[in-house]
Amino acid sequence: MSLHYQAAVLHRAGTPLAIERVEAAPLAPSDVLVRVRAAGLCHTDLEVIDGSLRYPMPIVLGHEAAGVVEAVGSAVVRPRKGDHVVLSWNPHCGHCFYCDRGLPILCEEYLTKGPQAVQFDGRCKARRADGGELRHLMFLGAFGEYCIVQDQQAVTVPNDIPFDRACLIGCGVMTGVGAALNVARIGRADSVMVVGCGAVGLSAVQGARLAGAARIIAVDLDDAKLDLARRMGATDRVNAGSEDAVAFAKRLTAGRGVDAVIEAAGSGAGFRMTVEAVRPGGEVVWLGKIDVAKEVAFRWGALMQEKRIRRSSYGEARPARDFPLLAQSYLDGRLMLDEMITARIGLGAINDGFSALRSGQAIRSVVTLG
Ligand SMILES: [Zn+2]
Ligand SMILES: [Zn+2]
């Protein structure tokens, strides 16, 4: 018996998503069918809609999601039917050059199949009502009532975290908190600067707080986002539109610069600010993206003195370890997620949600499904 469901489909960059009836492919032995209950609207989805990230189309976007396991393939041991799960967008083969070196984010299978927007075995997860091919973004394609994933992508979390909060863990929160805890390895009493206070930056602020940083300087151009950063743990705030963030960081640290800077703004000015504000020997983590063909200029002197610069896509996520930890941190009151949700919308209002994200009004709009 075939499963039909509604999904938001992008046919061409620059056009609105269309809500369509699609048909799920049969489950492969290691597949899991998830009934999607909530999916966040992330900047990476917007980049595909606006055309700066190019994928084959038509495609279902959405890569930050939570839901309930509806069915599992014959070889699946974990998760189980009925589990509440947060979805990871980084499946990995476990035995290639990079997997062997502990870098699942560079898995060769992941990097080959990802741009084609198909599963590892080359299949599409669903097709259009007229039988036409349908791709899925980042091994998910979660803007629909259902989503087929590999078993390793569906990570069981406690039942008592609400789906609209849980979904944020799948991309933005993992990336930001992971940048602080896994990548920058912030320690107790460190001074940290976070450049850009959207969902990822606010999560980095919280990661720095969880790590015990003594000073956390939040930098943004929007006072409302800076207020939110303050509530989430920033000790200092700088509106870079009216104040020099690098001078502020130096003043706070006897002229040295801060121990670590996490960037989540995605602008040349932001990248430059990070290397100027960090101290000699300090850690810089870049999370933001700009068009891959663009160049960014740096003052050479700012790159010297043993500074370490890392670009990270997913905060060195180990979903099976990190997702349940983050969910529990929320339940314990240590990780703030409620405040990140700007709007809850139905699938039919998804284009309005992307307009709000494009204009900078939204931290996170979340599509919620019955
Ligand atoms: Zn994302
Ligand atoms: Zn691999």
**pLDDT digits 0-9 by tens, 29-85:** 999 999 999 999 999 999 999 998 999 999 999 999 999 999 999 999 999 999 999
What's the gap in Å between 202 CA and the centre of ligand 2? 31
Confidence of residue 1 (pLDDT cuts 50, 70, 90): low
What's the gap in Å between 43 CA and the centre of ligand 1? 6
pLDDT surpasses 80 at 243: yes
State the chain's mean pLDDT as an integer: 96
Amino acid code (one letter) for 125: K
Local structure of residue 103 (DSSP, 8 states): -
What's the gap in Å between 94 CA and the centre of ligand 2? 5
What's the gap in Å between 223 CA and the centre of ligand 2? 42
Amino acid code (one letter) for 299: R
What distances in angstroms separate CA 308 from CA 173, 212, 322, one per listed residue? 23, 21, 24
Instruction: In whole angstroms, give the CA distance from residue 360 to residue 362.
Output: 6
pLDDT surpasses 80 at 351: yes
Nearest ligand atom owner, CA of 61: 1
Alpha carbon dihedral 293, 297, 300, 306, in 10-degree steps, equals: -60
Q: Give the number of other CB atoms < 10 A from CB of residue 230.
A: 16
What distances in angstroms separate CA 162 from CA 144, 204, 282, 331, one per listed residue? 18, 22, 38, 10
What distances in angstroms separate CA 352 from CA 21, 197, 348, 361, 362, one per listed residue? 20, 22, 9, 11, 11
Which DSSP helix (H) or strand (E) runs through 97?
helix 97-100
Q: 0.75 exceeded by the pTM?
A: yes
Confidence of residue 362 (pLDDT cuts 50, 70, 90): confident
Q: What is the DSSP string of 272-312?
A: HHHHHHEEEEEEEEE-----TT------GGGG-TT-EEEE-
Confidence of residue 2 (pLDDT cuts 50, 70, 90): confident
What's the gap in Å between 299 CA and the centre of ligand 1? 30
Q: Give the number of other CB atoms < 10 A from CB of residue 167.
A: 31
Strands 236-239 and 258-263: unpaired
Instruction: In whole angstroms, give the CA distance from residue 218 to residue 234.
Output: 6
Determine the pLDDT at residue 192: 98
Kindly state the greatest CA–CA separation across the chain. 69
Residues 6+ apart with CB under 8 A from 183: 283, 285, 310, 312, 315, 316
What's the gap in Å between 98 CA and the centre of ligand 2? 6
CA 169 vs. chain centroid, Å, equals 8
What's the gap in Å between 354 CA and the centre of ligand 1? 13
Q: Provide the phi-psi class of 23: left if phi over 0, else alpha when psi is between -120 and 50, else beta.
A: beta
